[in-house]
């Protein structure tokens, strides 16, 4: 028998070509599926980062002003006022949302507050605060993806300010 000479048909070529095409299409779907999962993971991580950072920032600001008359809310519920004494002067730190950012502005108590002033802290769509009782505050923050986060902060101290 002569095994060296074999008649190759078009069917053999088409089978190999179809096998290679199936492999290429499968590899493409795996890469596209992986990219979609990666994108979803990154978006979730960014959203969680924004939420945790906003919650931690506000909570630490409250904690640092946790004394009698150290924390107040404006009448609209959109601005948190944090008071501190330095010598014979009283200063106010305002936390508020403006132009898509959580902002902070510290000034002398007698200064007229302007929402356009302030340092950008974190990108957010909305920020509001409500006083539930004398020591419990409820915060609502809407991140840049439109996800709302509600959390509570409790004041523990009844001591006078610094």
Give pLDDT tens digits for 83-131. 998 888 999 999 999 988 999 999 998 888 777 888 999 989 899 999 9
**How far is residue 78's CA from residue 74's CA, in Å, rounded to a whole number?**
7
In which order are the strands placed within the sheet that holds 71-73? 71-73, 79-86, 89-98, 101-108, 119-123
The pTM of the full predicted model, rounded to 2 decimals, is 0.72
**How far is residue 145's CA from residue 51's CA, in Å, rounded to a whole number?**
11
> Is there a contact between 145 and 47 (Cβ–Cβ < 8 Å)?
yes
């Amino acid at each position: 028998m002569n095994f060296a000479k074999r008649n190759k048909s078009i069917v053999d070529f088409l089978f190999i070509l179809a096998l290679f095409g199936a492999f290429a299409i499968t590899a493409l779907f795996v890469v596209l599926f992986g990219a979609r999962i990666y994108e979803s993971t990154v978006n979730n991580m960014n959203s969680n980062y924004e939420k945790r950072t906003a919650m931690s920032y506000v909570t630490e600001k409250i904690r640092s002003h946790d004394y009698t008359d150290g924390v107040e809310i404006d009448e609209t519920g959109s601005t948190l006022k944090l008071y501190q004494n330095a010598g014979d002067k009283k200063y106010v730190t305002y936390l508020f949302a403006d132009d898509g950012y959580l902002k902070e502005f510290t000034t002398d108590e007698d200064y007229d507050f302007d929402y356009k002033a302030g340092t950008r802290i974190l990108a957010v769509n909305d920020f509001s605060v409500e006083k539930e009782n004398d020591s419990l505050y409820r915060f609502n923050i809407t991140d840049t993806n439109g996800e709302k986060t509600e959390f509570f902060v409790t004041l523990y101290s009844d001591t006078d300010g610094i």
